Chains A and B, each alone.
Chain A
């Protein structure tokens, strides 16, 4: 019954339809039959002939409809008693769905026109902010580079360096110098002992030497007045005595 397009009078491309209801409506319109009094056998045959070419991915929805049509067709053929008020038209549910779907199609036309009309009017354009651009290539002159280098260097923390030096104090040298002075003079001042242009190291060395010699009683230290210059006096040497 099915595969002859000539029998149904037209060739249908299924891609044009958004579903089995759409296809059914198309068939009904082609045949110009009353939707509320569907010639179900004819429509079912046409439906089956169209979906015979169906691709598998779309098949399920169409096949379900095909099964439904065949069931209704069978129910219509069942004999029923005259005057049976309980009889319900097996097509009723399908017709209700078709009418509902037809209404939706009408709305689709309306929405399509509305969308097309809206599309002819442009609003102010909006462009999304661009994604973060990659950094621009470096463009600097020598001064910029030097300034940048200085800034970087300034950020380097001061290194904690300890200069380890050999003990610089020359106590022995100072001792020898003082002994030489003691040999020459009985008394002399601090400045004489330290010598001219003394460094910090010379001062310390001389001071330690004086204390050491005082301890050995080679000399006596005195300070005649507060904050006054120190006076160094040769002690009476025991060895000499």
Chain B
């Protein structure tokens, strides 16, 4: 393995969160972005088969994660615990914010059909969403967006990893008016 790949390996091992390409490039000013990409590819290849961990592209960065097949054993031994599951209400709210961001609380309430204030407060507390700007409307409402930890807990590279709306089985379209009353 070339020395840059070893350096990246050490840094990724030491960090407890995904490191961005920019952060990794700052380790060796001479390497350049292309060099870091090449070294990451080499590192990923080196970890592809022979290891219990693998290098994963996640949350706009890179991180070593254990392979899925060991999850149950590790968890049973209580060496590591799964993060708390998100409630359906939390997932609904996250889905709306992920696709509509930046979006205000009123719009979330409207789409969900229920008051979502408490759920959104909890999501802010967990660092999964944050206030990104203020709207133009009355009272300049706070508008929310998703954060890197949101991508991290879902194992997404970036927001482009979310399914495209056209791919969903339910297409959002205006229903054709029906003439017959029941």
Contacts and interface: CB of A to CB of B under 8 A. Distances in A.
A88 to B, nearest CB: 7
Contacts of A117: 68, 155
B155 A101 contact: no
B66 A96 contact: no
A18 interface: yes
Contacts of A112: 86, 91
Interface residues of B, number: 54
B24 interface: no
B112 A108 contact: no
Contacts of B171: 103
Interface in A49-104: 60-61, 65, 76-77, 87-89, 91-92, 95-97, 99-104
Chief secondary structure at chain B's binding surface: loop
Interface stretch (B12-20, B32-40, B42-50, B132-140): B12-20
Interface in A91-128: 91-92, 95-97, 99-108, 110-112, 114-115, 117-126
A18 B16 contact: no
B88 A89 contact: no
Interface of A: 18-22, 36-37, 39-42, 60-61, 65, 76-77, 87-89, 91-92, 95-97, 99-108, 110-112, 114-115, 117-126
Counting from the closest, the 5 A-B pairs by CB-CB distance are A126-B16, A118-B155, A19-B114, A120-B71, A121-B65
Given A104-B111, A117-B68, 19 more contacts: A18-B92, A37-B178, A60-B115, A61-B114, A76-B181, A89-B175, A99-B170, A101-B113, A104-B112, A110-B163, A111-B98, A114-B156, A115-B85, A115-B153, A118-B154, A120-B71, A122-B65, A125-B16, A125-B80
